[in-house]
Structure 1
Amino acid sequence: MYYQKSSEDTLLNLNVQASNGLTQDEAKKRLEENGPNTLVEKQRKTILQMFLAQLKDTMIYILFAAAAISVILHEITDAVIILSIVVINAVIGVVQESKAEAALEALKNLSSPTAMIRRNGKVMEISASELVAGDIVILEAGRIIPADLRLLQSVNLKVEESALTGESVPVDKDANFIAAGEMGIGDRINMAYSSTSVAYGRGEGVVVYTGMDTEIGKIASMLNESVEELTPLQKRLNDLGKLLGIVAIVIVAAMFGMALLQGRDIIEMLITAIALAVAAIPEGLTAVVTIVLALGVQRMVKVNTIVRKLPAVETLGAVSVVCSDKTGTLTQNKMTVTKIYLDNQTKDVTELSFDKNTVFVKGFVLCNDASTANNERIGDPTELALLDMGKLVNVTREGLEQTNPRINEQSFDSARKLMTTVHKEDSKVMSYTKGAMDILLGRCSKIYLNGEVTEITDQHKEDINTAASEMARGALRVLALGYKEDDDTANEENLTFVGLIGMIDPPRPEAKDSVRVLEQAGITTIMITGDHKDTALAIAKDLGIAENENQCITGSDLNELTQEQLNDRVRDLRVFARVSPEHKVMIVKAFKYNGSIVSMTGDGVNDAPSLKAADIGVAMGITGTDVAKGAADMVLTDDNFATIEKAVAEGRGIYHNIKKTVLFLLSSNFGEVISMFSAIAAGLASPLQSIHILWINLITDSLPGLALGVDPKDTDIMKAKPRDPNESLFAHGGLIFTVYNGFMIAALTLGAFLWSPIIHLNAEGMAVTLENIKWMLGQTLIVNGADYSIIEHAQTYAFTTLGVSQLFHAIGMRNYDKSLFKMKMFDNKSMIAAFIIGLALQIAVTEIPILTEVFETSQLSLKEWGNLILISMVPLLSHEIIVAGKNLFGKTA
């Protein structure tokens, strides 16, 4: 580890002299041996590969089987319809995926295009890709660091590392530092890392790692190695697809067995059995679920959330742990002065007054190199915070300098830890010094109290140290101010102490409420940050994330733990401070090991691997790096932690709607299977033709299914605990519900199918027996001079009843526990439209001549329609009876 070596040992190890650098020949040789200083990108999928990947799904395989079966049955139209569904579903998936997987490309864009180096004793600028280990790199403010460097020189050098470590402010670097042992990235102050930037000062460093060996390269490797996992819904639908496949095989086998027992024509019965298997497959399910998710994506946009991958919508609804980065996510990513100490009192910054505290305000604003002119924030975050403090009392540096021009200065130095500026002020000279409290206080001989200057005493110093300690315990960064009159030399001795300021990157105002709401919803918020432990814990306590120090752990502590040990400890931890990207992935894995569905939020490059590793990664849209956005499943366009709460609520509502849709489709298809199986088992003709089944599944089912998918979410949805990730779609009575409604729809369909032959048997004075019904179904009568097929009429009755009963069934499916009269029907106008359109389409296929020929249906009279609609209303009537029973039972209990 080069941060544990001296600069001399590092240069010796790399066989290079700092004064001359490498020779061009040696650099060329090393470039050939180790390769260019670039990130290796994982080969991206082609459009064809993405399209084929969408077809690797159990439900899709079943749809292919259904299409093949339709071809065997010479139902080419049916096969075209089914394959169209498959193609539409795959295209939607490709469109979503083609927008993703840009993380490595964004990482490459972060790399510095050029680097200033020394070779052959000459300074030159080359492409960063040509850098090799041993190159001497020259650093200056504004430069992006092109590779991982061991610093050789550092003059007031500060490096902005927030994207890599999560550190709120630029890090002071010290080339002379040598680490005694292992430490986190944020503490290696003698190193500078690729893709970070020089915020202040200058320096030199020797390249120790390039390309994929850099810290940024390690992140790229983790992104490459990550494996896409199935979401809970995908797992449930996969299981369902397998179950339906088994059911289809069992049906074919059972029907084939019945053919042998009943002595039927084997080939004819096999074709019928295959048709029955088609009925078991809800052809529209995959398409409906995909469309519901897509509509959910549009709803998420309204709560400032962009979904990059469709399944992520429902995953967020199952989240039980939100691992959040601190800087810029839970906090504002803006250093802010919150406390001041002057006149022997600690106050809130809002109590500051320019008239009463003129010297205090002038000193901190004038002793400053930052600028906020023209609404542009330029400079060190700490100094910008001081200018913001000035704005609270309507004071700007530019305004003050018009009457208090700077005439001398001593720049900040990391060794002195002080900065001094000298200003002309009317007829006198004022020198202001700011810096580290302990250093500055040691140079003060006087103190400014309530407008008067007196000799500083030990008691004064004790009071100042006490105030500084209280600020530090609150995780505030403390700066002190002193001044001197009538000395234009910028001398920093014999100063007059003025006061202290305490600053911090404060929590977002709305984050505390969001943490509380998530807690009510059974969701634990975890803070993961590269910042210091005290700062992280203070913010966590303020937000209600943690209560005590025992719930906090640091990166150095994590280094001592194995993944298995962390798996055991993680349940009691809430704050992870001073962590590296590897630690973040380790933390996510630990929570997942304990059965949690984990969401990871973040905005920096350092968050990308954990965003990828989590069940759902949520990136910040404004401050987030392209790397984070590329690795995430979702992006918050307003960077607001509170938006996560709204997104979770939407995710829960969407999953609930999908579950309602799935149960609705399955109970409807189960009704089709039972009605056909029962009729054929009894030796009767099939009550439905294959085209009838497809029409019901793709039209009458799908429209209400989509309407259920956009049902408004329950207002109490965030008061429930997260669902068990292993929970079946049939949990909480779903299986009983599906079977019950399936049998009810089957009974209504069979009753309608038998109605016509029974009426004609009665008209002929014949006994209603199974054999007579079979005989009558095979008859063609002459009615009003036209042929009247009994089987066609019976199938029309069954077809119509099945379709319309499912429309009524969908209305009741909106809420299992509420009466129709309490559902606020007009809240879901889509359901009203679906019912009207579905009924109109069903009427069309029985009344429009050209369609009756295609569907082989008979036209019905108004009286027949009235009777069939009354029969079809039974599922809704059943819903009302069950709800009334639940309410009555609940009140009685």
Structure 2
Amino acid sequence: MDQNKIRKLYAQNKISEVFLNLKSADVGLTSTEANNRLKKYGLNEIKKPQKESEWKSFLKNFISMMAILLWISGAIAILSGTLELGIAIWLVNIINGLFSFWQERAAKKATNALNNMLPSYVQVIRNGKKVQLDAKKLVPGDVFILQAGNTIPADARIISASSLQVDQSALNGESTTESKSVEYAPGEGNYAETNLVYSGTSVAAGTARAIAFATGMETEFGKIAQLTQKQRKVDSPLTKELNRLTKQLSMIAVSIGLLFLLAAIFLVKYPFAKAFVFALGMVVAFIPEGLLPTVTLSLAQGVKRMAKKHALVKELNSVETLGETTVICSDKTGTLTQNQMTIHYIWTPKNEYRVTGNGYVNNGQIELNKKQLWYDENPDLQKLVEIAALDNDTSVEQTKMKGAKPKILGTPTEAALVIMAEKGGFDRSKVIIKYPRLYELPFDSERKRMSTIHRWNDQQFIIFTKGSFSDVIKQCDQIQIDGQIQPMTPSQQQAAANYNAQYALKGLRSMAMAYRIVDKDSIDINKVTATTTEQHLIFVGLTTMSDPPRPEIYNAIKRCHEAKIKIIMVTGDSKLTAKSVAVQIGLTTNQARVISGDELEKMSKHELSVALKGEVIFARVAPEQKYKVVKTLQQNGEIVASTGDGVNDAPALKQADIGIAMGMTGTDVAKDAANIILTDDNFASIVAAIEEGRAVYSNIRKFLTYILTSNVPEAFPSILFLLSGGIIPLPMTVMQILTVDLGTDMLPALGLGGEAVDSDVMKQSPRNRKEYLLNKTVIAKAFLWYGFISSMISIGAYFLVNLKNGWPRIPLASNGEVYLRATTMVLGTIIFTQIANVLNCRTNRISIFKKGLFSNTGIWYGIIFEILLFLILTITPGLQQLFNTTNLLMTDWLFLFCLPIPLVLLDELKKWILYRKK
């Protein structure tokens, strides 16, 4: 049967029919029957998708396309007679795979530690007696007890209730609590039936008895989890891009190898075996062995930096995906707002007051937190505060933990009133002794009022009433102004209605306050009814409240807009509230279109696609509708990040390119579906994480530019050798080429992977998905600029050494000390020009001196390492023979050390000319 029909069946049937259908009774199940049902229905828990084995998770780090290419290139190196270098390539692969596995495993452990959603115990009626039971053993037909603070363990029908208020934000995304009672009413929005409660939600106030009709995966909570688990996991954009890059580089390497093979055979007249080994060496040389560890290190460093900014990354590739986000679909409650109702205005018939920070009335401003009572001189405010604090069942406990929110036992609405009164110096515990409560008429969804009766003096009682404006004002026939009570005129009632309407347009909730003093003889305290009590009330004023935006959200949204990232609010709250908050925080303008869940349901794919290209807000949406919004955005070509904390957010989190769950308030289903978990539930942390993601991609591209640059001067000597038919002796050997690729280039390249973010990265548009890592800019910079300059200098050094030793009078040396010195200088000039190139690659547009020449210590450690390695290769006898090197003269070293300086200055001049206007 359809899930909605099942809900209606249990909501609309009489309770006797519900008992009959579930084969249960008000005294609950017997232990025997409960055990039988437990075997039939299984444990009351959300089953998590079967996770891949540790071995499979471990091995996948060694079988990516780039990893496979490295395995092959290592094998080629071994076949070409360079066993040591082949093993070195394989070690790079192994170390990288182990590092990736360790990083993701650590993230999963941290995620599992955050997952703590369903309650441990529940009070159940078994064998006619109340027992405490592990919530996992709850079964359909069980009768259980609820009270304030409890998390509801199953979908259930209410049997009895007293002032029951339920927080359903985890399920429907609404910031306000729902009134629940025994009587059925459909309510407004999703899961709003007044006599049903749902698994995973919580009791804000009141008590109840309920009978479970769905547990585990059959609950609404479970159904949404199933919807999430059915979705396939797709490769991240970075994975796809690295696979594409691997194919491109493989084709380039193989093509060059084939050309060199043919040239060696036909131009140099090498025998096939020798030509093949020569060509294999060039293939290995053109494969960037450092790419995979650099990517992994860049991602890992991004993960580490993001963790410091309260973002826990579950998978490394998620870092970069966040960096190319074009649209963020954000929940409202708890993400953009504080998820804490706060008083904003107090209105009395004489004045309107804006509630700010700290404790006295001054020119229409109320500041809370002063030692003296800020309402002492104002009888209207005094009476309003008395009503707000005493006609109230909620208690607020301040926590000792720094920065932690107060613990609320009750509803957020009443908590806001309590906090307002306490910050103003109102001591409820003392006042309640003076005016003890005698009776309560609890809030219900029909009256939309709550009243309490207190002893006022020896002869009189006082009745305090609060509730929705429209339901309180019609019970009032008097009004208090400056402490004086007088009949309420139609104009006064209209003035109050006008203010109430203005507050509603701002997305604020109004709470009307009224009271009445009666003689003791006129009320029988044992026969109190709402009809006889809540009449002839004296209207005092309004308090207005809302869930305020997070203070840092304004700047975060501004930065997103500067970064050309669109933010779309997708919430379960009302249209009016959603738009009010969106406009207030600068998310949209007042012209934004607000689409409700009902409207969304009727829209075609094309209509939704068009709507998503403009300013739009989604309100009162169901879980599958959030999923639909995300999917349509992706079909429009957007990279979508979706945020949320509730069960209702999980399908959209899973479908999005990057799912971001809240760590503090998020459900375990949301956390499981997400790629990133915010440990501080702060939207501003998303912006910081996006910045890191952009930095990661930028760093990978910087590395790629740097590593490809050395391929040009490495290939140029071999090209001269081949084109001259062997007349020009090989200026650089394969072993020297591999020395650069696997030795001197590696550590500076890894240093680039940890480069700090450029200051202008959040003022640029997200990268186009069609713009690949290996784009025209990278090719031009690596091959035609840095690579060409390095090639000319290195070949120039080769001929300069020969020139000093008699060339062209004497033929170019093909062996002996002159040849060794010439090839050593070629290797040296490539290494030292790469020092300049790694510094130049650190920034794309701004000056390296502005960013800080020595700010990236990782690069400088790499530079020191490559100089020392080159020195060792030139002075160590055994290594000299292996790498065709020899001792250099002091003038050679002086030339090499001076070489990076003009190259850095030349690149600075180029950046200044090209980007000075930008």
Tell me whether the two structures share a fold, i.e. TM-score over 0.5.
Answer: yes
Query: Secondary structure of the equivalent of 2:166?
Result: strand
Match of 1:354 among 349, 364, 375: 375
Distance change in 2, residues 1:370/1:460 (3 Å): same
Match of 1:567 among 609, 612, 622: 609
Q: In the TM superposition, what is the alpha-carbon distance from 1:273 to its structure 2 partner? A: 0.7
Q: In the TM superposition, what is the alpha-carbon distance from 1:448 to its structure 2 partner? A: 1.0
User: Given that residues 290 and 749 in structure 2 are in contact (C-alpha distance below 8 angstroms), is that contact kept between their aligned partners in structure 1?
Assistant: no
AA aligned to 1:727 is E
2:435 paired with 1:431: no
2:766 paired with 1:722: yes
2:509 equivalent in structure 1: 477
Distance change in 2, residues 1:292/1:214 (3 Å): same
Alignment of 1:282-321 (within 5 A): 282-321=288-327
Listed one character per residue, the Cα deviations across residues 715-743 of structure 1 (whole Å, up to 9, x for unaligned) are: 33322222212212244622222221323
AA aligned to 1:463 is A
Query: Secondary structure of the equivalent of 2:302?
Result: helix
Query: Secondary structure of the equivalent of 1:481?
Result: strand
Farther-moved stretch of structure 1 (580-589 vs 202-211): 202-211
Match of 1:387 among 410, 413, 418: 418
Q: In the TM superposition, what is the alpha-carbon distance from 1:843 to its structure 2 partner? A: 2.1
2:156 paired with 1:149: yes
Farther-moved stretch of structure 1 (823-832 vs 659-668): 823-832
Give the Cα–Cα distance (whole angstroms) in 2 for the partners of residues 370 and 15 of structure 1: 35
Match of 2:687 among 626, 629, 645: 645
Q: In the TM superposition, what is the alpha-carbon distance from 1:298 to its structure 2 partner? A: 3.1
Distance change in 2, residues 1:178/1:385 (3 Å): closer
2:431 paired with 1:400: yes
AA aligned to 1:449 is I
User: Given that residues 165 and 411 in structure 2 are in contact (C-alpha distance below 8 angstroms), is that contact kept between their aligned partners in structure 1?
Assistant: no
User: Given that residues 265 and 275 in structure 2 are in contact (C-alpha distance below 8 angstroms), is that contact kept between their aligned partners in structure 1?
Assistant: no
Q: In the TM superposition, what is the alpha-carbon distance from 1:806 to its structure 2 partner? A: 0.9
Q: In the TM superposition, what is the alpha-carbon distance from 1:713 to its structure 2 partner? A: 3.0
Match of 1:585 among 627, 636, 652: 627
User: Given that residues 146 and 194 in structure 1 are in contact (C-alpha distance below 8 angstroms), is that contact kept between their aligned partners in structure 2?
Assistant: yes
Give the Cα–Cα distance (whole angstroms) in 1 for the partners of residues 538 and 141 of structure 2: 49
Q: In the TM superposition, what is the alpha-carbon distance from 1:637 to its structure 2 partner? A: 3.8
Q: In the TM superposition, what is the alpha-carbon distance from 1:561 to its structure 2 partner? A: 3.6
2:862 paired with 1:855: no
2:892 equivalent in structure 1: 864
Alignment of 1:22-171 (within 5 A): 31-100=38-107, 109-117=116-124, 126-171=133-178
AA aligned to 1:514 is A
Match of 2:725 among 676, 679, 683: 683
1:510 equivalent in structure 2: 552
TM-score (norm 1): 0.89
1:704 equivalent in structure 2: 748
AA aligned to 1:567 is S
AA aligned to 2:231 is S
Taking only the aligned residue pairs, the percentage that are identical comes to: 34
Farther-moved stretch of structure 1 (46-55 vs 24-33): 24-33
Query: Secondary structure of the equivalent of 1:825?
Result: coil
Unaligned runs of 5+ in 1: 767-771, 781-787
2:699 paired with 1:657: yes
Unaligned runs of 5+ in 2: 357-364, 367-373, 400-406
Alignment of 1:619-634 (within 5 A): 619-634=661-676
Query: Secondary structure of the equivalent of 1:544?
Result: coil
Give the Cα–Cα distance (whole angstroms) in 1 for the partners of residues 68 and 180 of structure 2: 59
Listed one character per residue, the Cα deviations across residues 189-208 of structure 1 (whole Å, up to 9, x for unaligned) are: 33221122223333444433
User: Given that residues 157 and 196 in structure 2 are in contact (C-alpha distance below 8 angstroms), is that contact kept between their aligned partners in structure 1?
Assistant: yes
AA aligned to 1:557 is E
Q: In the TM superposition, what is the alpha-carbon distance from 1:365 to its structure 2 partner? A: 1.1
User: Given that residues 721 and 731 in structure 2 are in contact (C-alpha distance below 8 angstroms), is that contact kept between their aligned partners in structure 1?
Assistant: yes
User: Given that residues 107 and 313 in structure 2 are in contact (C-alpha distance below 8 angstroms), is that contact kept between their aligned partners in structure 1?
Assistant: no
Distance change in 2, residues 1:817/1:99 (3 Å): closer
Match of 2:820 among 792, 801, 804: 792
TM-score (norm 2): 0.87
Q: In the TM superposition, what is the alpha-carbon distance from 1:268 to its structure 2 partner? A: 1.1
Q: In the TM superposition, what is the alpha-carbon distance from 1:271 to its structure 2 partner? A: 0.8
Listed one character per residue, the Cα deviations across residues 866-888 of structure 1 (whole Å, up to 9, x for unaligned) are: 34455666744652553465479
Distance change in 2, residues 1:660/1:793 (3 Å): same
Give the Cα–Cα distance (whole angstroms) in 2 for the partners of residues 811 and 709 of structure 1: 13
User: Given that residues 751 and 859 in structure 2 are in contact (C-alpha distance below 8 angstroms), is that contact kept between their aligned partners in structure 1?
Assistant: yes
Q: In the TM superposition, what is the alpha-carbon distance from 1:663 to its structure 2 partner? A: 1.0
User: Given that residues 396 and 418 in structure 2 are in contact (C-alpha distance below 8 angstroms), is that contact kept between their aligned partners in structure 1?
Assistant: yes
Give the Cα–Cα distance (whole angstroms) in 2 for the partners of residues 525 and 377 of structure 1: 31
Alignment of 1:241-390 (within 5 A): 241-262=246-267, 263-350=269-356, 351-352=365-366, 353-355=374-376, 356=378, 357-373=381-397, 375=399, 376-390=407-421
Q: In the TM superposition, what is the alpha-carbon distance from 1:169 to its structure 2 partner? A: 2.8
Q: In the TM superposition, what is the alpha-carbon distance from 1:665 to its structure 2 partner? A: 0.9
User: Given that residues 137 and 206 in structure 1 are in contact (C-alpha distance below 8 angstroms), is that contact kept between their aligned partners in structure 2?
Assistant: yes
Give the Cα–Cα distance (whole angstroms) in 2 for the partners of residues 758 and 156 of structure 1: 98
AA aligned to 2:840 is G
Give the Cα–Cα distance (whole angstroms) in 2 for the partners of residues 459 and 369 of structure 1: 34
User: Given that residues 336 and 385 in structure 1 are in contact (C-alpha distance below 8 angstroms), is that contact kept between their aligned partners in structure 2?
Assistant: yes
Distance change in 2, residues 1:18/1:456 (3 Å): farther
AA aligned to 2:560 is L
Query: Secondary structure of the equivalent of 2:383?
Result: helix
Match of 1:4 among 3, 8, 14: 8
Give the Cα–Cα distance (whole angstroms) in 2 for the partners of residues 646 and 836 of structure 1: 32
Give the Cα–Cα distance (whole angstroms) in 2 for the partners of residues 534 and 584 of structure 1: 19
Listed one character per residue, the Cα deviations across residues 470-507 of structure 1 (whole Å, up to 9, x for unaligned) are: 22222222222222224454733322221111111111
Farther-moved stretch of structure 1 (343-352 vs 189-198): 343-352
Query: Secondary structure of the equivalent of 1:571?
Result: coil
Query: Secondary structure of the equivalent of 1:531?
Result: coil
Give the Cα–Cα distance (whole angstroms) in 1 for the partners of residues 462 and 872 of structure 2: 92
Query: Secondary structure of the equivalent of 2:442?
Result: strand
User: Given that residues 104 and 627 in structure 1 are in contact (C-alpha distance below 8 angstroms), is that contact kept between their aligned partners in structure 2?
Assistant: no
Q: In the TM superposition, what is the alpha-carbon distance from 1:431 to its structure 2 partner? A: 2.9
User: Given that residues 679 and 750 in structure 1 are in contact (C-alpha distance below 8 angstroms), is that contact kept between their aligned partners in structure 2?
Assistant: no
2:369 equivalent in structure 1: none
Q: In the TM superposition, what is the alpha-carbon distance from 1:283 to its structure 2 partner? A: 0.9
AA aligned to 1:147 is A
Q: In the TM superposition, what is the alpha-carbon distance from 1:816 to its structure 2 partner? A: 4.5
User: Given that residues 346 and 467 in structure 1 are in contact (C-alpha distance below 8 angstroms), is that contact kept between their aligned partners in structure 2?
Assistant: no
Distance change in 2, residues 1:102/1:248 (3 Å): same
User: Given that residues 102 and 627 in structure 1 are in contact (C-alpha distance below 8 angstroms), is that contact kept between their aligned partners in structure 2?
Assistant: no
Query: Secondary structure of the equivalent of 1:221?
Result: helix
Give the Cα–Cα distance (whole angstroms) in 1 for the partners of residues 579 and 779 of structure 2: 47
User: Given that residues 108 and 314 in structure 2 are in contact (C-alpha distance below 8 angstroms), is that contact kept between their aligned partners in structure 1?
Assistant: no
2:789 equivalent in structure 1: 744
User: Given that residues 106 and 626 in structure 1 are in contact (C-alpha distance below 8 angstroms), is that contact kept between their aligned partners in structure 2?
Assistant: no
Q: In the TM superposition, what is the alpha-carbon distance from 1:421 to its structure 2 partner? A: 2.7
User: Given that residues 103 and 629 in structure 1 are in contact (C-alpha distance below 8 angstroms), is that contact kept between their aligned partners in structure 2?
Assistant: no
Distance change in 2, residues 1:309/1:381 (3 Å): same
Distance change in 2, residues 1:886/1:345 (3 Å): closer
Match of 2:863 among 825, 832, 835: 835
Give the Cα–Cα distance (whole angstroms) in 2 for the partners of residues 336 and 694 of structure 1: 66
Match of 2:778 among 734, 738, 744: 734
AA aligned to 2:659 is G
1:468 equivalent in structure 2: 500
AA aligned to 1:798 is V
Give the Cα–Cα distance (whole angstroms) in 2 for the partners of residues 108 and 865 of structure 1: 60
Give the Cα–Cα distance (whole angstroms) in 1 for the partners of residues 36 and 461 of structure 2: 60
Q: CA RMSD in A?
A: 3.2
Give the Cα–Cα distance (whole angstroms) in 1 for the partners of residues 844 and 130 of structure 2: 76
Distance change in 2, residues 1:205/1:670 (3 Å): farther
Distance change in 2, residues 1:116/1:390 (3 Å): closer
Distance change in 2, residues 1:877/1:606 (3 Å): same
Farther-moved stretch of structure 1 (582-591 vs 9-18): 9-18
1:553 equivalent in structure 2: 595
Distance change in 2, residues 1:607/1:393 (3 Å): same
